[in-house]
Structure 1
Amino acid sequence: MARLASLARGHGLPPVTVISGAPYGFRHRARLAIRGRVGAPKLGMFELGSHRLVHIPRCRVQHPLINRVAAVVRGALIDARVSTYSERAHLGLARYLQVAVERGSQSAQIVIVANSATSEPLAAFMELIRERLGGQLHSLWFNANQGRSNVILGEAFEHWCGPASVVERFGGAAVHYPPGAFGQSNLEIAQAIIEQIGEQIPQGARVAEFYAGVGAIGLSVLARVSALTMNEVAPQSLHGLDLALSALGAADRAKVSVVPGAAGGALAAAVGAQVVVADPPRKGLDPQLLEWLCDEPPERFLYISCGLEAFIRDLARLTGSGRLRLCALDAFNLFPFTDHVETVARFERA
């Protein structure tokens, strides 16, 4: 926070406000590693800088349903005698558990990631999960990951049961999250960020959004805009976006266009936009997009950053030419008990 405070002072802004939410039970998404032995599995997270698993059966920051799912999955692993994965030997089936809790239904989308090409060796185990969770199960998926790497999800998903996506609303149109799409774990603070972005988009504006994901921001502000162009590169996120767009009414659907591909190669999406929104990964803005924003600054640029180092670097370039000025800076506490904050910055054409 000291560095953000210094940035604010340097640009003549008031002290940075930190928006926080509930410190416990806030995580609606989790990815837990599965390790251990047959009959004695462990589900949890690796110690920092290692692959030593810490079993976390009752994590206080997770939604209670995630803890319930982890307990059911552990019990099903034991009863079905499913082997757990070993990195060293590259043997064993169960590798990871991914859980996403849908707020509206209070049910869990579950993905079992396994060192197997198909779900066949896990059929009895998967059925135990389905039976034991009952109405608390939103959907169940198998994901094949036979690679020797730290990548959690493989490319292939097999649908076992339930709806195709978790559906959330952040004050606007429904937002769809297929199991492979990125979603924020702290939905209370994610909603606060989206609401603040919406308040900074003038009524009737033409908007371009880069790194749009499944469209959580754009779809939530759709009622305010006259036209919305969204850019995204990840196939699973584009699938979620397609599910959401297909559910829109004709008038709203006519407002929206999608430009797939990397942000740096999709600059045409921003042509004619009065407001540009970008929510890049930790590495920051693609160089081509950064240069375009400097050379052809929109009336307003809203930058949501999850990587402070990249944001500071991009900020220097954006304001260095004198064509954009930093007008507002806020921080959102997405991960209580850590020093990480999500930064939301508003730039105006000078």
Structure 2
Amino acid sequence: MKNTCSCRKKGCGGCPLLALPYPEQLAKKQKDVENLLGKFGPVQPILGMEDPWHYRNKAVSTFCAGPGRSLQSGIYAQGTHRVIPVEECLLHNPALDEAIAAVRTAAAACRYEPFNEDRRTGLIRHVLVRHSRATGQILVCLVTAQTALPGSKAFVTKLRQLCPSVSTVVQNINPRHSSAVLGSAEKLLYGKGYIEDTLCGVKFRLSAASFYQVNPVQTERLYQTAIEAAGLDGSQSVLDAYCGVGTIGLASAAKAKSVLGVELNRSAVNCAIQNAKANGITNARFLCADATSAIQRMAQQGERMDVVFLDPPRAGSTPEFLQAVCQLAPERVVYISCNSETQRRDLEYLTARGWKASFIQPVDLFPHTEHVETVVLLTRS
């Protein structure tokens, strides 16, 4: 295993720990988690990667004008909207960089102009690419500032000649003056509009907008750790809060009596329902609702859940949600977090109300960055 690797993209900011040997990165993250969460219970040794390079299955590249009006693409310099051209990245699966290079060549052949944020001129803003570890399929999403994409058929033909692994191409229209990559409107240019990947033995459809963890190897370890912590034996009813496209809930369904997933994003809920059908999973259902409102209603109606999976965004959960968890009184709460600071805040709330953190497991989902995921098992003390 390589411990360090050099990168010439100065100012990128995407890999702040790149110069630190990987074992030292793990030691740093272990210490960080212990400092934040160690007061609640013993922290298990962090689960790192055997090969912490080229793990990302998704990339976004922003277009810009290069020397002689050539078409380039890359990543914003840290804290700015100045694009640093990127040909390859040490974190990307190489198939992503190959696809992005093919998009640049095909777009240049079609004479597409890069969007200029200041002047509000040009056509193409970004390209988002996804790669399936299970099938090798690649999804390409070309983000444009206008609805019209002249020569779209020629673009797709050239792209697929250069990169045959591209199985679907979509155009996303984003006319907004916003830092958000994707807009709300989309056109299918080629293929089905999604690719499929397999995680923990379950097939998932991935569209351009789907939330899906970017490190499939470590995500499987994360979810397997969470499911093992839940102690499922086929008799439990499970609530998967903030469920997204249903990854945790569907991965645990084979070991549960029933699964209820709750998610506010309608598109994600539709994907979760489709994923359940595609996998023949009949004991899982999904509700489009605010997680806090849903669990409060369940608690007020006296409903029973044996296990609650909790995987909130970086801002953490809400006091109202946590209060409802206490009213629901499941046997176990498995709290997955990408932000140990907000997780610490929420654990303070729960432990003050009779819960005990009996298992704390850090997982390195994002090598060479400051981020770390943690799985915490809470039981009644």
- TM-score normalized with structure 1 length: 0.93
Residue 4 of structure 1 contacts residue 16 of structure 1 at CA under 8 Å; is this kept in 2?
Answer: no
Match of residue 220, structure 1, among 251, 276, 284 = 251
Task: Identify which of structures 1 and 2 has the higher relative contact order when contacts are C-alpha pairs closer than 8 Å and 6+ apart.
Answer: 2
SS of 1:336's partner is coil
Residue 244 of structure 2 contacts residue 265 of structure 2 at CA under 8 Å; is this kept in 1?
Answer: yes
Match of residue 113, structure 1, among 143, 166, 170 = 143
Identity of aligned residues (%): 25
Query: Which residue is 2:132 aligned to?
Result: 102
User: What's the offset of the Cα at 1:344?
Assistant: 1.1
Query: Which residue is 1:69 aligned to?
Result: 99
Change (3 A) 1:83 1:123: farther
Gaps in structure 2 of 5+ consecutive residues = 1-28
More strand by share: 1
Q: How does 1:132-151 map to 2 (within 5 A)?
A: 132-134=162-164, 136-151=165-180
Write the deviation string for residues 130-164 of structure 1: whole angstroms up to 9, x where unpaired.
33222x01211110000001011011121112234
Write the deviation string for residues 230-258 of structure 1: whole angstroms up to 9, x where unpaired.
01112331232122122243xx31x1221
Distance 2:315 2:38 in 1: 25
Write the deviation string for residues 140-199 of structure 1: whole angstroms up to 9, x where unpaired.
111000000101101112111223432222223322222211111111111111111221
Query: Which residue is 1:348 aligned to?
Result: 379
- What residue identity is the alignment partner of 1:97? V
Structure 1 residue 53 and structure 2 residue 53: aligned?
A: no
- TM-score normalized with structure 2 length: 0.85
Larger displacement relative to structure 2 (238-247 or 180-189): 238-247
Match of residue 41, structure 1, among 71, 77, 81 = 71
Distance 1:9 1:304 in 2: 16
Match of residue 266, structure 1, among 290, 294, 301 = 294
User: What's the offset of the Cα at 1:16?
Assistant: 3.5
Structure 1 residue 4 and structure 2 residue 36: aligned?
A: no
Gaps in structure 1 of 5+ consecutive residues = none
Q: How many residues align?
A: 344
Query: Which residue is 1:124 aligned to?
Result: 154
Larger displacement relative to structure 2 (171-180 or 20-29): 171-180
User: What's the offset of the Cα at 1:288?
Assistant: 2.3
User: What's the offset of the Cα at 1:308?
Assistant: 2.2
Match of residue 348, structure 2, among 305, 316, 319 = 316
Distance 2:173 2:319 in 1: 34
Distance 1:121 1:278 in 2: 46
Residue 34 of structure 1 contacts residue 44 of structure 1 at CA under 8 Å; is this kept in 2?
Answer: yes
Change (3 A) 1:226 1:200: same
Moved over 6 A (4+): none
Structure 1 residue 176 and structure 2 residue 205: aligned?
A: yes
Change (3 A) 1:287 1:31: farther
Match of residue 285, structure 2, among 249, 257, 264 = 257
Distance 2:193 2:82 in 1: 34
